[in-house]
Amino acid sequence: MPSEYPGLIMLERLQKILSAAGIASRRAAEEIITAGRVAVNGKVVTELGSRADPAQDRITVDGKALRAEGVRSYIVLNKPVGYVTTLKDPQGRPVVTDLLKGIKERVYPVGRLDYNTEGVLLLTNDGELANRLAHPRHEVDKEYMVRVRGSVAPEQLQHLGAGVDLEDGRSAPAVVNLVRESENNSWISITIHEGRYRQVRRMCEAVGLSVVRLKRSRYGILETGDLKPGEFRFLAPAEVDGLRALCKLAGRSVALSKTPILREERKGGGKR
């Protein structure tokens, strides 16, 4: 959109521009810049403090021009086991965006679920919202259903809830409940607001519990609902507003994609 004031230059940091354009999260955008993949008006830029005017300058990533900020897409996917939460995997494993058949906009995952973890995953090209949701200070709840071997002692539940010592520091207090148990397996729910690498698995291991299955049942206000593994849907405007409220973003500042709900067909039966 042309500036209201002709000749006014609106400079922004390149990593912010890339994130707002849906290229990557702000942290990943910094890596793209330092790798020499970004050019402004034909000149490669590798310095993180560099600024540009997205309305005036031609900004390219890997030779492809950025599109002007416009329609935003917000997708909730029921991630199945056997996919990595990234846009490209060096080992050639399936990535979550492989499941988004029919989606024209480039979206990227908010946060990460590891290869063997399933459940709620948000994908969007709204860089500002993604950065806010992922930032620890906003303490967005993430609820997990965990199946562990054998029974669970009350002391183990209390320890998980109070916080456990991990290699990267003590975990914050969590909400932990025993859902059901049998002689062979037990189900517990764990709600955390941190987002460390394999955190729930490591917490369980720290108190002597062996995880058999791990599913994220809720991310903030989002749940899988009736989505089967591998299926996805677009968020309703009220859901986007709810996510923005969680991380203290006022109002809805961008247009939402009006692409109809799509579901990915499940291929084969295979073991999970």
Cα–Cα distance between 156 and 143 in angstroms, integer? 18
Based on the residue annotation, tell me whether 114 is a catalytic residue of this protein. yes
211, two tokens: 């995880």
SS3 of 211, please?
A: strand
Contacts of 39 (CB under 8 A, 6+ apart): 45, 59, 60, 63
Cα–Cα distance between 130 and 88 in angstroms, integer? 19
- Can you give the three-state secondary structure of 6-62, one letter per residue? CCCCCCEEHHHHHHHCCCCCHHHHHHHHHCCCEEECCEECCCCCCEECCCCCCEEEC
Catalytic residue among 53, 57, 89, 114: 114
Do 195 and 142 meet the contact criterion of CB atoms below 8 Å apart? Answer: yes
Neighbouring-strand partners of residue 72: 256
Catalytic residues: 114
